[in-house]
Amino acid sequence: MTDGTTDPLTRPLPAPTPRPRFEAGFLTPYAFIGPALVVMAAGLLYPVVMAFYLSFYDWQIGLELEDAPFVGLTNFGRMLVDHQVWEVLWVTIRFGFWTITIEMTLGIALALLLEKPIRGASVFRTIFILPLMVSPVVVGLIWRYLFDARVGWINYYAGAWFGIEPQIWLGDPQLAFFAIVFVDIWQWTPFIFIIVLAGLQALPSEVVEASTIDGATWWQQILFVKLPMIRSILVIALLMRLIDVFRGLEVMLIMTGGGPGRSTELLSLHIYNRAFETQQLGYASAISVLLILIVFGMSAAILLLANPMRERSDV
């Protein structure tokens, strides 16, 4: 009979040898991402820090920053009671709600329809992504002429095909808001389409085939198999479009200039007008800080609620 301490089945395992804290090549990944971090810090952090810094000064174009008077929190106090800021913020929220909702819906629907290798799918995919390749400045110019009340093609074909009277698209507050929403959907739905299509084509075919064998219908596969598996991709696409909406400027500036009134003036365009039209750089910087806080808060809320990395951490 063997002693319990010598029995190989009951013998306690030796304590694991502690691994060195810094192994060979520990710093190698950081050496590769170091240059990218430096570029990001120079291109992103520096402007943000300067926006915070300038918001405490009454700085105007042509005046040296050293000579600009320090006003402390005056710009922020003025911003809180400025009805124009909250008016354009409401316009931005409405614009973002309609554009993101419709773009996500259309982009996902088109990706689901064209994910299969059907005849002509490649041609349709190429056509759908063409608006994404056009510069925002060119997009604004093209649609400004298309929506023109006198020579625009939209009024012409709306009257010729449907008998609709000519409309002053960019001169009416409601129609102008509809116009910028329509143009943004036309330009950025392909972005959602490309991202979702790539995610769908990367799904393992075994999972889809297993759901088919289990008797899942096409709708059930979409709702319970495909979309849940690309949840992280959908969240990232939503987050990127949210950020783009709050920094959108060129198309609205060229199409309507924010008018009529402020019906199409987004918060980013309002900041531009304050900085370069009225030369209130300090006050514009304070509004920029508000924009940064709003985007950061909404992005953090989306990431916390959706948590696109949860499925990876649970593996």
3-class SS string, 195-264: HHHHHHHCCCHHHHHHHHHCCCCHHHHHHHHHHHHCHHHHHHHHHHHHHHHHHCCHHHHHHCCCCCCCCC
> Does the structure show a pLDDT above 80 at 25?
no
Half-sphere exposure of 52 toward its Cβ, with a 13 Å CA cutoff? 7
- At 309 the pLDDT is 54
The proportion of the chain whose per-residue pLDDT surpasses 90, expressed as a percent, equals 35
Most confidently modeled range among 62-71, 85-94, 212-221, 301-310: 85-94
Q: Which of 76, 83, 104, 102 is nearest to 191 (CA)?
A: 104
Q: What's the whole-number mean pLDDT along residues 56-67? A: 83
- At 220 the pLDDT is 86
- At 313 the pLDDT is 47
By mean pLDDT, which of 44-48, 75-79, 184-188, 264-268 is the weakest? 44-48
- At 11 the pLDDT is 59
Q: What's the whole-number mean pLDDT along residues 153-169? A: 86
- At 8 the pLDDT is 54
Which backbone phi and psi does 70 adopt, to 5 degrees?
-80, 125
Contacts of 132 (CB under 8 A, 6+ apart): 187, 188, 190, 191, 194
- At 265 the pLDDT is 92
CA distance 267 to 83: 13
CA distance 286 to 26: 42
> Does the structure show a pLDDT above 70 at 6?
no
- At 60 the pLDDT is 82
Q: How many other C-beta atoms are found inside a 10 Å radius of the C-beta of residue 283?
A: 27
Q: What is the mean pLDDT of the chain?
A: 84
- At 315 the pLDDT is 43
pLDDT tens digits, one per residue of 86-98: 999 999 999 999 9
Q: What's the whole-number mean pLDDT along residues 169-193? A: 93
CA distance 48 to 61: 19
Full-model pTM: 0.82
- At 272 the pLDDT is 92
Q: How many other C-beta atoms are found inside a 10 Å radius of the C-beta of residue 154?
A: 19
pLDDT tens digits, one per residue of 194-245: 999 988 888 888 888 888 888 888 888 888 888 888 888 999 999 999 999 9
Q: What domains does the chain contain, in order, with CATH numbers?
A: 83-313 (1.10.3720.10)
> Does the structure show a pLDDT above 90 at 65?
no
